């Protein structure tokens, strides 16, 4: 569930790029003691030749923080038990699962209930 929330947040903030041009390789630095990853990539906007910098902090086993350094944005996602939460720019989304029957999702105070009966 945590992976899904991170993936959805990335889709919101990362522009879609056509894969017609050659992609530049990434440069990654991993610090296993801090559980921190820094990466430089230019695949987001190849026409601008701008290197995008991201940083992932996974030092907390229940929470991941992704910094989009060039844009100054920070995304975080956490999960514990049957609940997962994602936050970005003061916006919050959370999902709570109830067994195999469904769950509740809440985005910016709006609740969505999904129940499935068999």
**Which tokens sit at 113?**
């209930």
- The CB density around residue 61, as the number of other CB atoms within 10 Å, is 10
pLDDT tens readout for residues 29-59: 887 776 778 777 765 555 666 777 888 887 8
pLDDT of residue 13: 46
Sorted by sequence, the CB contacts under 8 Å of residue 14 that are 6+ apart come out as 44
Extract the residue ranges of the chain whose pLDDT is less than 50: 11-17, 19-20
pLDDT of residue 43: 57
Full-model pTM: 0.57
């Amino acid at each position: 569930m945590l992976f899904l929330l991170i993936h959805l947040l990335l889709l919101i903030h990362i522009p879609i790029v056509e894969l017609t041009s050659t992609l530049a390789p990434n440069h990654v630095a991993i610090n296993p003691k801090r559980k921190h990853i820094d990466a430089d990539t230019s695949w987001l906007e190849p026409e601008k030749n701008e290197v995008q910098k991201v940083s992932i902090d996974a030092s907390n086993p229940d929470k991941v923080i992704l910094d989009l350094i060039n844009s100054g944005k920070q995304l975080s996602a956490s999960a514990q038990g049957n609940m997962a939460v994602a936050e970005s720019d003061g916006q919050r989304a959370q999902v709570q699962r109830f067994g195999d029957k469904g769950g509740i999702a809440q985005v910016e105070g709006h609740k969505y209930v999904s129940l499935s009966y068999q």
